[in-house]
A and B are shown apart, each in its own frame.
Chain A
């Protein structure tokens, strides 16, 4: 574990840089990795603590979810270890009326916006109280109440969905913007191209947030694109783009706010490339030691977004071990309570398998539902 005090700044990669060269000149940074502020963007201490706590909550939930999966208590988890600043900073910038179209790593944004820990945990368990009724894998939730669309697994499909949603709002003159998340791998998808093109042509109020975390499962960024950066792709679509240090929560907050200001002023979409690093595997099904160069993750641990904020808070508000322990304990307590309830909640009822395919159940599904209910249960599925 990297200590709070030690930090060595890496050097820019210069001419041989990869698209994830976070030290490149054009990467916006507000706070240096040692916690010193380079550019004061006027974030008060209360907000800074709130941002840190949201990131900490995300990380602790992540950690618990991985453990639950390893223990065989949930089936799967896909998390955001190391990417918390890119998610929390951007979601924090949103106004109430704005919407999020998530990829699948943004449960932290949902918790920040008000999704209850219990509801999230029920989704990880796919139980009877799961908002999506156990129909999808863990981490594939939705949250209409907090204006977040539904998570799906195909790469990039949410990008055009987000553009259409923002476009519809603009057609109705409703003053809102849409933040859509995706990874560096998704920039190779059809819908990245379609989304940026449609958004550019129609000036939709969309904020594209590419979490460049260095890896698409096992494929590194230099096998994903020959572009100098992912932000560079905005040029071809007439979409202004910025690169930001994705482990600098203040910087992510700032560029997202700027993008929202542009969107609100009718100036159209912005592409944000947040350079960060996936400290975990792709998901609990992946083992990154098979493909990750030795030392790479360790180097990025030095740039851990939470450590950076701790250094900052230590300086600003005397955030020390006691404050840290107390914050961690509160979150652990919250998570533990939610796990207990989720674990003791039954599976979704059998008949729900057929509900909601259509608004009203057609005859063929009624027949199949009756067939399932009248039949024997699958092995391991107790009566």
Chain B
């Protein structure tokens, strides 16, 4: 198996599906000739031409609005929003049209597309190149939300998302775009949506994370192991709908849980996870569920590493929860 980073793996998935399925088109700002500001679509323009790898005017609302029309026509559009911070002009289209089209048309018009967008901080991007808005899409009925943490998962989840009958928000953790390297299966490879991955087994407590912070959670878990705390680490991969069975089975086994995400804390996915765990595993809990997250402030520039829930902030939460 070839080794790839996440950028290469996503590029590989796009190329593979565009070769297989001529309904697939990529559109967005700078996705064509230049191959994307993160080079994710590099080479696709030369291989598939300007009709399938489309440089659009600089308007996210226009990108998603026209992608809706393409999806209704029967194409498989993959619009790119250059940074998820810039997705908000398209929020109306995503919430009012993309998410509701199937339901509001009584099933007459599916509107499946994969909206790819880099997410998260730690790249010195300040307010507008760093945010993690996933909860704002999970709250909208009709959307699926995916966030891979490894190169292989990025490929497998993207191919599964393109073939999924529902619209998918595909968040790509840009801090690990190049750092997340590993073996990636060649050719056709899918990872089922809605399935989490238990990447480390343990009995002491459950750690739930996703995207770039998964690596911080894993680092903290390894350090906790030096103190005899064996964490079970779950990579959610699909943020919505959640793999509730895997989560609850693990929490019932360990009785303790820490949730890590870099998105702001209040009304974040962590809060929803805590509610679900309380509802479904309350009598198994040995400690209050904990969240280690970004803060409820705008994403900062100079102090961004203080904002992120890095390993040093996760570790005390793990030991306190394990010893509660």
A residues lining the B interface (CB < 8 Å): 101, 130-133, 135-136, 140, 142, 144, 149-150, 152, 154, 157, 159-169, 171-172, 178, 190-191, 194-195, 197-198, 201, 355-360, 362-364
Contact A154 B106, beta carbon cutoff 8 Å: no
> Does residue B166 face the partner (Cβ distance < 8 Å to A)?
yes
B residues lining the A interface (CB < 8 Å): 25, 51-52, 56-57, 59, 61-62, 64-75, 77, 89, 92-93, 96-97, 100-110, 141-142, 144, 164-166, 194, 241-242, 244
Specify which of B51, B52, B106, B107 is in contact with A130 (CB 8 Å cutoff). Answer: B106
Known: A144-B108, A363-B241. A198 touches B103 (CB 8 A): no
Specify which of B61, B164, B244 is in contact with A191 (CB 8 Å cutoff). Answer: B61
Q: Nearest residue in B to A173 (C-beta to C-beta)? A: B51
When chains A and B are docked, how far (Å) is the Cα of A145 from the Cα of B244?
Answer: 39
Contact A358 B142, beta carbon cutoff 8 Å: yes
Residues of A within 8 A of B164 (CB): 359
Specify which of B65, B101, B241, B242 is in contact with A150 (CB 8 Å cutoff). Answer: B101
Contact B108 A157, beta carbon cutoff 8 Å: no
Known: A133-B106, A195-B62, A358-B144. A160 touches B70 (CB 8 A): no
Q: Which 6 A-B pairs have the closest CB atoms?
A: A164-B69, A160-B65, A164-B66, A194-B62, A165-B69, A168-B73
In the complex, besides A169-B73, A194-B61, A358-B165, 19 extra interface pairs with C-beta distance below 8 angstroms are A132-B106, A132-B108, A135-B104, A160-B62, A160-B65, A160-B93, A165-B70, A166-B69, A167-B66, A167-B69, A168-B69, A168-B74, A172-B73, A191-B62, A191-B65, A191-B92, A197-B57, A357-B142, A358-B144
Q: Nearest residue in B to A178 (C-beta to C-beta)? A: B69
Known: A152-B97, A164-B73, A363-B244. A132 touches B104 (CB 8 A): yes
When chains A and B are docked, how far (Å) is the Cα of A167 from the Cα of B25?
Answer: 12
Contact A160 B103, beta carbon cutoff 8 Å: no
Contact B104 A165, beta carbon cutoff 8 Å: no
When chains A and B are docked, how far (Å) is the Cα of A171 from the Cα of B103?
Answer: 27
Smallest CB separation, B79 vs chain A (Å):
10
Smallest CB separation, B146 vs chain A (Å):
14
Known: A157-B97, A198-B57. A164 touches B67 (CB 8 A): yes
When chains A and B are docked, how far (Å) is the Cα of A166 from the Cα of B70?
Answer: 8
Specify which of A165, A356, A357 is in contact with B106 (CB 8 Å cutoff). Answer: A356
Known: A160-B68, A357-B142. A362 touches B241 (CB 8 A): yes
Specify which of A135, A140, A154 is in contact with B92 (CB 8 Å cutoff). Answer: A154
Residues of B within 8 A of A160 (CB): 61-62, 64-66, 68-69, 93
Contact B66 A140, beta carbon cutoff 8 Å: no
When chains A and B are docked, how far (Å) is the Cα of A152 from the Cα of B108?
Answer: 14
Smallest CB separation, A191 vs chain B (Å):
6
Residues of B within 8 A of A131 (CB): 105-106, 108
Residues of B within 8 A of A159 (CB): 65
Contact B59 A194, beta carbon cutoff 8 Å: yes
Known: A160-B62, A195-B65, A363-B241. A150 touches B142 (CB 8 A): no
Smallest CB separation, A221 vs chain B (Å):
24
Residues of B within 8 A of A152 (CB): 96-97, 100, 104
Smallest CB separation, A61 vs chain B (Å):
21
Smallest CB separation, B34 vs chain A (Å):
18
Smallest CB separation, B20 vs chain A (Å):
17
When chains A and B are docked, how far (Å) is the Cα of A362 from the Cα of B165?
Answer: 13
Known: A163-B65, A165-B69, A171-B51. A356 touches B92 (CB 8 A): no
Known: A149-B72, A165-B70. A356 touches B51 (CB 8 A): no
Q: Nearest residue in B to A149 (C-beta to C-beta)? A: B72
Known: A157-B92, A163-B65, A358-B144. A197 touches B102 (CB 8 A): no
Smallest CB separation, A196 vs chain B (Å):
10
Q: Nearest residue in B to A162 (C-beta to C-beta)? A: B69
Specify which of B61, B108, B194 is in contact with A142 (CB 8 Å cutoff). Answer: B108
Specify which of B57, B71, B96, B241 is in contact with A154 (CB 8 Å cutoff). Answer: B96
Smallest CB separation, B283 vs chain A (Å):
19
Contact B194 A356, beta carbon cutoff 8 Å: no
Residues of B within 8 A of A132 (CB): 104-106, 108
When chains A and B are docked, how far (Å) is the Cα of A356 from the Cα of B165?
Answer: 11
List 7 contacting pairs A-B, 8 Å CB cutoff, sorted by A. A150-B104, A152-B104, A164-B71, A165-B70, A168-B74, A197-B57, A198-B65
Contact A358 B62, beta carbon cutoff 8 Å: no
When chains A and B are docked, how far (Å) is the Cα of A9 from the Cα of B108?
Answer: 46
When chains A and B are docked, how far (Å) is the Cα of A171 from the Cα of B61?
Answer: 21
Smallest CB separation, B152 vs chain A (Å):
24
When chains A and B are docked, how far (Å) is the Cα of A192 from the Cα of B145?
Answer: 29
When chains A and B are docked, how far (Å) is the Cα of A107 from the Cα of B104?
Answer: 17
When chains A and B are docked, how far (Å) is the Cα of A161 from the Cα of B52?
Answer: 18
When chains A and B are docked, how far (Å) is the Cα of A150 from the Cα of B57?
Answer: 26
Contact B68 A168, beta carbon cutoff 8 Å: no
Contact A198 B96, beta carbon cutoff 8 Å: no
Contact B62 A142, beta carbon cutoff 8 Å: no
Indicate the member of B72, B100, B164, B242 with the most A CB atoms within 10 Å.
B72
Smallest CB separation, B33 vs chain A (Å):
15
Smallest CB separation, B216 vs chain A (Å):
28
Contact B89 A190, beta carbon cutoff 8 Å: yes
Specify which of A101, A157, A162 is in contact with B93 (CB 8 Å cutoff). Answer: A157
Contact B70 A164, beta carbon cutoff 8 Å: yes
Residues of B within 8 A of A357 (CB): 102-103, 141-142
Residues of A within 8 A of B96 (CB): 152, 154, 157
Smallest CB separation, B81 vs chain A (Å):
14
Specify which of A163, A166, A364 is in contact with B241 (CB 8 Å cutoff). Answer: A364
Residues of B within 8 A of A195 (CB): 62, 65
When chains A and B are docked, how far (Å) is the Cα of A172 from the Cα of B227?
Answer: 62
Indicate the member of B73, B97, B102, B165 with the most A CB atoms within 10 Å.
B73
Smallest CB separation, B101 vs chain A (Å):
6
